[in-house]
Amino acid sequence: MNLSQLHVLVVGGATGGAATALLLARAGARVTLLEKVAQPRAVGAGIALAENGLAVLESIGLGPAIAASGRAVDAPAVVDARGRMMLAPPRPAPRVRMLRRSALQGLLLDALAAEPRVERQFGAEVIGAERDGRVLARIDGRTVEHRADLVVGADGVHSRIRSAGRFGARVRPPGIPYLRALVEVDAAQGVEAWTGAGIFGSFAVDGGTYFFASAGTRACRRAVAERDLDGLRQVWARAYPASVPLLAAVRRFDDLIFNRVTRVDCQQWVDDRLVLLGDAAHAMAPNLGQGANSALVDAAVLLDELRRAGTLAAGLDAYQQRRRPAVHKVARAAAGLGALAELTNPVARWLRDRLLLPVATRLGGDATPVVMQELPATLLAIGRA
């Protein structure tokens, strides 16, 4: 279909929404981007861009900037608390670059500002939407109605667009909390460790280290509830000594970012002129690092199917038929891996480490194509067409 005749309203200006706006605008569509955060540039901690997400970003011209601001991750592995290998990465390992989330957001915002077919409205909170493409937003205390041929809900786990349509959404109760932080020390291990206290991972970023840890054990939960940074340090020092210099570099408890894993599954991603993308459609456990990367793949495939189709309805249906099964496999695998990683009972961990993982390693093939969901070369070609 001819995208130059299409007015698209993208709700959500984070990674998936920003990439969608850029891809559709450069393909000829007129795009309005609504983002509820008035100043969204400096948000979050770190982000891992896998080869599929990198291909999408490279297709819109951000490759050199990402290469300059990110750090290459050399075949990330899973180890135990003593650094012994538990799960080795496939060979050859897919490319991964780690960078500050604020750096990626800044690159996307700069690209949006330079794109004449994108109208940006920050501080615009969506308060309602209709299946026919009407969206109500509150901006500076005023209620504004937008009308579009297509409304893309890229507005995250608590999507207002999803709640306005008939998507058959199942939002599971939040799971264990995770903490994340950026510290200005060079103490990255470049691995994810499965320990008696849960997961702890640390990777180099420009000017420091990004680390993350689960907080599901009773001791961790108590420390978090009491905002006890010293108590949290002690828990992790006993479970994983490599955590010591990283948590020591955290100055205040408020410098830690906490979130709980929430999984979202939708029976369908399309309802008339409303379509979902990213966490709004398929929030998943973080254990395969495919949350933001899957949103980027969504953006590319949406463009590809709209461009191929004769009508808007046909393009949207092809998009969900192509993406939903692929993402479901990844989300299910991430949930399974997360359940294994979070085993803290000593007997369960012994069974996992001595019996389950060795057998799975011998029997399992290379899961990279399933995790990547689309060939990186295909994703690169979509954005460059």
Predicted confidence pLDDT, tens digits, the chain (385 residues): 999 999 999 999 999 999 999 999 999 999 999 999 988 765 668 999 999 999 999 999 999 999 999 999 987 889 999 998 888 877 777 889 999 999 999 999 999 999 999 999 999 999 999 999 999 999 999 999 999 999 999 999 999 999 999 999 999 988 888 999 999 999 999 999 999 999 999 999 999 999 999 999 999 999 999 999 999 999 999 999 999 999 999 999 999 999 888 999 999 999 999 999 999 999 999 988 999 999 999 999 999 999 999 999 999 999 999 999 999 999 999 998 899 898 888 999 888 888 778 766 665 556 788 899 999 999 999 999 8
Query: Quick one: CA dihedral 57, 62, 63, 68, positive or negative?
Result: negative
Q: Which domain holds residue 238?
A: 177-260
- Assess whether 163 and 185 both reside in one domain: no
Domain count, the chain: 2
Q: Residue 340 in contact with residue 15, Cβ under 8 Å?
A: no
CATH assignment at residue 268: 3.50.50.60
Total-model pTM: 0.94
The last residue of one of the domains, among 227, 260, 293, is 260
Residue 254 sits in the same domain as residue 275 = no
Kindly state whether residues 136 and 218 are assigned to the same domain: no
CA dist 368 and 366 (Å) reads 6
253 lies in some domain: yes
**Does residue 90 form part of some domain?**
no
The single-letter code of the amino acid at 95 is R
Q: What six digits make up the tokens of 277?
A: 């993308």
The distance from CA 335 to its chain's CA centroid, rounded to whole angstroms, is: 14
**Structure tokens of 219?**
């001791």
Return phi, psi of residue 366, to 5°: -75, 115
